[in-house]
Structures are given as structure tokens and as C-alpha cells.
Amino acid sequence: MTTRMFGEPVLRREDPRLLTGQGRYLDDLGPRALAAAFVRSPHASARIRDIDVSGALDVEGLVAVYTWEDLPEQVGAPLPLLIPHPALTHGRTAYPLARDLVRHVGEPVVMVVARDRYLAEDACALIRVDYEVLKPVVGVEEAAHGGLLVHADVPGNAGAHLVQEVPSAAGLGAGEAIGRAPHELSFRLDIERSASMPLEGRGVYARWDADDRSLRVYSSTQTSTSVRMAIAARLGLPLPSVEVIAPDVGGGFGVKIVHPWPEEVLVPWAAILLGQEVKWTEDRREHFISAAHERGQVHFVRVGFDDEGRVLGLDVTILHDHGAYTPYGIIVPIITATQLLGPYRIGAYRVEFTSIYTNTVQVTPYRGAGRPQAVFCMERTMDHIAAHLGLDRTAVRAANLIQPDEFPYDQGLIFQDGRPLIYDSGDYPESLRMIKELIGWDGFPAVRAAAEAQGRRLGIGIGCYVEGTGVGPYEGGHVQVTSDGRVHVSTGLTSQGQGHETAFAQIAAAELGVPLERISVVTGDTRRFGYAVGTFASRAAVMSGNAIALACRKVRAKALRIAADALEADPGDLEISEGVVRVAGSPGASIPLATVATLANPLRYAFDEQAARATQFAATPAMDRPPVAEGEEPGLEGRDYYSPIRSTFASGMHAAIVETDPETAEIKILRYAVVHDCGKLINPMIVEGQIHGGVAQGVGGALYERMVYDSHGQLLNASFMDFLMPYATEIPHVETAHLETPSPLNPLGIKGAGEAGVIPVSAVIASAIEDAEGIVIDRMPISPSDLFHLRATR
């Protein structure tokens, strides 16, 4: 009997804590810390003439005021460009505090530290910054003309330009393949800006211990290990003297993988300088104007296809709005460019993007990270082809799908990890069959007709995607069994509510044969595990899940060696279940893992009764070898790493039925169906939760959320009053079905699931609205007001 844990819908162990107010988020820590607040630029583009802080000096409780001139060289230097790329010829990052120019509303200019946040904000309000206001660059197309520049030394505002080309089997380029195709279409597609918008914003809390000259920093981050290295480097501290911990984090969705944020450098620096704890908790307005956005892209598509709708050539040109800076490189447009082909075999492909600076908040990955735009392009293209040929939309997709016997399938592109984009496994025709069945695709005409008879207007839509998940370079896991029989699992990447404590414990339980209750999991704490990359790109389960499994296998092998000695049995005859090692087939011969853990650590001192069993006179040891044999280490623990050869590709297909009100132009999602394939499921309940949350964010992007900048570069809707994140009332019930095609690339056969839900939603909803209305939908999101005006142009 083995403990069957992997694949079970185990309830999330972190939920009782998180749902009953017992979570420890950043602002729950350090109640006596000094508070930092920032004076931020009210202008999108301006030169700082003078900063007069004198008005703030009378505020009682003010501790310090810093401008860029106060910062030492390493602290005040521009923030790092985290992911350099040869095509990013003009990468630019911000100073932690603006030096002489501000390039977007919200850029930090002055840091204030005071006894509490109220006083810090009072002081901020009294600081006078004299700006020479400059004309801002707003709107990606206007920026691309290059008349006005965001950075004086970046001509045309073009930070990066990249072309990737994949010729057809016959060696034709995309242009030629399109030219020779029986049919050709070209069109433009737009996606507007949105943002990650975690309910908990960013935050940093730093404690300097002057006695042992060490720094502990808590940050609401998606990568504590890399924040630690960045802080150590910036502040000139030895790495072992810096600890960074991600406490409970109230959502990340991508924005918290960017690091170090200005505040992550400045708050620890001020804590050391002042010799006092300092904390900064981002407020919502700061998050809107000072963190990061995503999604804004314009796409020009040209496609050539045959009579069956098979794509013979595809040429896509993308204008990517990068905002004012490029700290995270060009990952977003690279993902759009390379994930655009989805589950399809395309004749010839050419994709070109230009990444453009504008005087707006910087753009970095947000859940989906360029894929929603990519899928919008490809799936709108499929719908356009179907409409042009008068074919069923699913028939056109079926004609283009990669077949199960074609894996591994090389798309001929270089993915975001710098490695070849090769689909490892999948069954796209089966996925299409399942989604059609789940939504009732073939029966929909009757449903539509029945609704029409009541004066109601319905439409059905579909969207398909492939998602590269589990990007490298690596993650690690450490597993320790202590002499009380408990199992302590740690991994370096962080958690933002994904259910890692549960999923990783399930993996350890299955690998070690130990009950779930005896397993504890720690993530994102550099005191426990120092080597990690971070949580992004749907990688935590694939990367740390496999690393933990491998570490468990080391522990298990060692446990069996020790137990075999103790039981005088062959390790091959042993099995572990319920935390006990047994000789298979002889029920009497067994030894608990707790005892094995004790024996694994030869002792001199019997500090308790259990320990006495491992002391030097307790047993009759073999005198021909040392107590810790060569090649062994004391303790029952193991550490291992998983570093994949390349990404593993999950996939899915969504379909929806929407109703549009013929009079008010209201848009309502009546049904939403998801078929999802992320390889082997660790916990189907957690995967479904991820899908539901993803779909909810996708609905936000499709129908509600946009960042409205005016011509002065002011964000007009920088609050939850006017940035319409959907409520639960706006989210339909999500019907899901799973397909499991294991990944051959990793020991557990799993693929990432974190971002999946959000990816195709805009494409699906656009497809359904177009079907209901008979109006081409070529930009998202769409509001009732937008639909009303589209109807008028029909």
C-alpha cells in the first residue's frame, strides 16, 4: 500500500489561515517600524528644476527626507536591466529616485521617512518640486513616429526591434507563401492596457541588526533570492549577511517579479542609515501609477490560406508599448511573437516587433504575459478565415491543428528562455472534440434560434492556445526528515496564494510515503533555501515540484539504505508507507522513518530518549568503517535541483456563449467552458482554482479593464472606482474538463497551469460577440458603449 496523494483533490492547507485573517502579509509585520512615503511626479514628462523640502521640516514625527542627491553611488545608480537581449539595443531603466527628468506620472522623486504613514504623507504634501513641464509622448503609434522622444538618446522611441522568420517546408518565406496562396486577408488588431493589480500591493520592510551587522528584509515579492542578491550588491553587504523573506503575499500576477523596485533598494538603505526599522506599504494609487502595466499592443496581420482554411503563410507586425522603461527587457513581445502560432502548423511565419517607449507606466509581464495578445491575433485570424470561406470556425481550426503523432513539434522559433520552441506533447484534436462537446457547439444553432424567437441575441465563440511553461534555468528543493518523523520541505521560489504548501506537500507525501499532516513546506525564505529563480511563467509546480520530487527520492534512497542495515534486509525489498519502512511481505519487520532519521545522525550526546538510540555505545557499529560512511552525510535529508532542457508546453481551448442586449448593448457571458491540458495533475482542485481565477482576469481584460491615459499622460482611472476589475457578480460559472498528456521532459510529467485561464478569454469573447452581432470585433476590451457605436457603423 502506498500513500496516494499525487493527483488527489486535497483541500488547500493554507486556506484556513488565509481565509480567517491569520495570514501574515507585509503590512501585518513591523507595526513599530518607521513609515516611508514618496513624493511622486504629477507630470508625465518634466525636468526637475528644484526640490524644496523646507516646508516638510516642521512636521512633527518627520525622520528623514531623501532626494537623488542624497543617495550614495551604488544606491542611486539606475536600476538593473534584468533580462538583456541582443535586440534590446536601447534598454533604459529608471533611477531609484528621479535624478533630473521624470518620464511618467508616478515616478518617485523624494523619499520621506516619518513616525507613521500619516505623518509621512503630510510631509510629502509639503514638499515643493519645481518642474519644467515637457510635452509627453502618449500612445504607441504617436510614439513610433518619433517626433517627441521619451529618452533623448533613443531615436524613434524604439527600444528594441526583433524579427523571427520560419520558412515553409518548401522553403518559401512568409511574404512569398502569402502571395502564392489562393486567399489573402490583412487586418489590424488592438489590445489595450491592463495590469496585474494584486489585492495586496508591493511592500518592503527592513530591519538592520547593528549587533551582528545583518539585514533582514521582508518583501512582497515573487523572487526573494534575487531581491537578496540585488540588495547585497547595491548596499555593499556580504551576501550571507542579508536575508530576504517573502511572507504571505496577496497576489503577484507578474508585477512582483520585477526587482529590485526603487523601494526595495531605498527602504533597506534607509533602515541601515537610520538604525531603525523602516517599512513601505504601497497604496492603491501608487500601484496604478508606479508599478507596472501590460497588454497594450497593436498588431498588423497578413495571412494567406487555401480553400480548406489551412494557413500557408502568416506575417505579423507588432507595435509594443513599453512605457517609460524596460527593466524586464522584451519578454512580453517575445512571448507574443513566439506563442502566436498556438496549436497550429503554419506554412511560413514571419513576425516582427518594435518595442516603443512612451511617457506612461513601464510594461512588464502580467499573468499571460503577451499570450492573450498572441492568441487574440491567431484566433481572430482563424475566425476571419472561416468567415471568408464560409466554413465553420472549428473546421478551420481542425484543418490547421498539429496532430498527436507530430510531437515533439518544432515551431522553429526561439522562446523567451533563449531555447528552441519545441512542443513536447499534446493532443489538440481531442481537446477540440472535448470543448465542442462541453459547450454544445454543434447544437448551438438550435439554442440560438430558440433565443431569437424570444427577441434575444446569442453568439458562440472559441479560442485555442499553447502555453510554454516551466521555463528554466532551475529550481531546487530541500527535504529533511527529523527524528520526530516530521518532514520539512523547502524551496526557494515564492508563493502568492497558488497553494504551493498543499501541492508540494502532496508531491513529498507521494514520493516519501509519509502522511500529508507530517509534512511542512516553506517557500520564498532565503534562510531556508538560497538558490532560486522565482515564481512566474507558470513554473513553480514544474520547477520546484520536480526538484522536490528529486530531493525526496534522494532522501528515500538514503532512508532505505539505513533501514536495510537496521532490518538486515535488502534495500530493494523495502517500501515506505504511512511514515514506516517495511520489508515487503513480512509485516513484522519495520522501522519508523523517525527512527531512521535518528540513526542517520550518529550522536555522542543523548539529549533525549530517541537520540540515545544513535549514540556511540547504543549499538554495535561496524568497526571497519567510520560512523558517517564515505559519500554519506549525517542526517536524513536531501537536496536536489531540476533544470529543464527547455520549456514544457501546456495547452487548452475555451468556448463561451454570450448574450448581447439588442437595445442596451449589454454583454453577458451565459456560459464559459474550458478544456485544459497541463499534463499530469498534482491536485485537480488547485488547477481548477487557477483556471477560474485566470478566466476571471481574462473577463476583466475582455470586458472591463483599461488604462485610460489622456494626452497629458495622466492616468484618468487610477482607482478601483474607475478601473473596472470585475466583481464575482461579473464572472460566469466556469465549466472545466481536463485532458492529461504527460510531459516527457520532467520526472513528474507535469506542465504549468498558473496563467492558462487568462490567455484566450479576449479571443473567445470577441469571437462570441462577433457571432452574436455580425460585426467584426478587432479590438478589446469592449464595453456596452463601444458595442453601441460599433452597431451604428454597421
Partner 1 sequence: MKPPPFDYHAPRDLGSALSALAEAGTDGKVLAGGQSLIPMLNMRLAAPGHLIDINRLAGLDTVTAGPDGVRVGALARHSRVERSAEVAAAQPLLRQALRQVAHPVIRNRGTVVGSLVHADPAAELPAVLALLGGSVRLARAGERERDVAAGEFFTGPLESAAEPGDLAVSAFFPASPPRSGTAFRELARRHGDYALAGVAAVVSLGEAGEVVRARVACIGVGAVPIVVDVTSAGRPGDWAAAARAVQDRVEPEDDIHATAGYRRHLVGVLAERALGEAAREAADA
- Which residue shows C-alpha cell 524644496? 52
- For residue 335, give every residue at least 6 positions away whose Cβ sits within 8 Å of its Cβ, in sequence order, or none: 365, 369, 370, 371, 374, 416, 468
Considering beta carbons, is residue 15 or 661 the nearer one to partner 1?
661
How many CA atoms, within 13 angstroms, populate the side-chain half-sphere of residue 754? 29
Interacting residue ranges for partner 1, rule: CB under 8 A: 117-118, 121-122, 125, 283-285, 663-666, 704, 708, 716-717, 719, 722, 724, 726-727, 729-730, 783-785, 788-789
Considering beta carbons, is residue 357 or 709 the nearer one to partner 1?
709
Considering beta carbons, is residue 15 or 666 the nearer one to partner 1?
666
Considering beta carbons, is residue 615 or 783 the nearer one to partner 1?
783
Considering beta carbons, is residue 118 or 605 the nearer one to partner 1?
118
User: What does residue 327 show for φ and ψ, rounded to 5 degrees?
Assistant: -65, -30
Nearest distance, CB of residue 728 and partner 1, angstroms: 9
Nearest distance, CB of residue 755 and partner 1, angstroms: 24
- For residue 652, give every residue at least 6 positions away whose Cβ sits within 8 Å of its Cβ, in sequence order, or none: 431, 464, 465, 467, 674, 675, 676, 677, 756, 759, 760
Nearest distance, CB of residue 283 and partner 1, angstroms: 4
Nearest distance, CB of residue 188 and partner 1, angstroms: 22
Nearest distance, CB of residue 117 and partner 1, angstroms: 5
- For residue 53, give every residue at least 6 positions away whose Cβ sits within 8 Å of its Cβ, in sequence order, or none: 65, 67, 110, 127
Task: Report the C-alpha gap between 197 and 189 in whole angstroms.
Answer: 24
Nearest distance, CB of residue 700 and partner 1, angstroms: 10
Q: Which DSSP category does 343 fall into?
A: T
Nearest distance, CB of residue 268 and partner 1, angstroms: 23
Find out whether 225 and 244 touch, Cβ atoms under 8 Å: yes
What is the SS3 assignment for 359? coil
Q: Which DSSP category does 34 fall into?
A: E
Considering beta carbons, is residue 122 or 277 the nearer one to partner 1?
122
Within a 10 A sphere around the Cβ of 632, how many other Cβ atoms?
A: 14
Q: Which three cell numbers stand for residue 482?
A: 527529523
Nearest distance, CB of residue 279 and partner 1, angstroms: 14
Nearest distance, CB of residue 19 and partner 1, angstroms: 17
Q: Which three cell numbers stand for residue 202?
A: 508591493
Considering beta carbons, is residue 633 or 722 the nearer one to partner 1?
722
User: What does residue 646 show for φ and ψ, rounded to 5 degrees?
Assistant: -165, 180
Closest by Cα among 638, 621, 506, 496 to 559: 638
List the strands of the sheet with 580-583, edge to edge.
574-577, 580-583, 586-592
User: What does residue 391 show for φ and ψ, rounded to 5 degrees?
Assistant: -105, 160
For residue 148, the Cα-to-chain-centroid distance in whole angstroms is: 33
Q: Which DSSP category does 703 fall into?
A: I
Considering beta carbons, is residue 243 or 286 the nearer one to partner 1?
286
Considering beta carbons, is residue 296 or 342 the nearer one to partner 1?
296
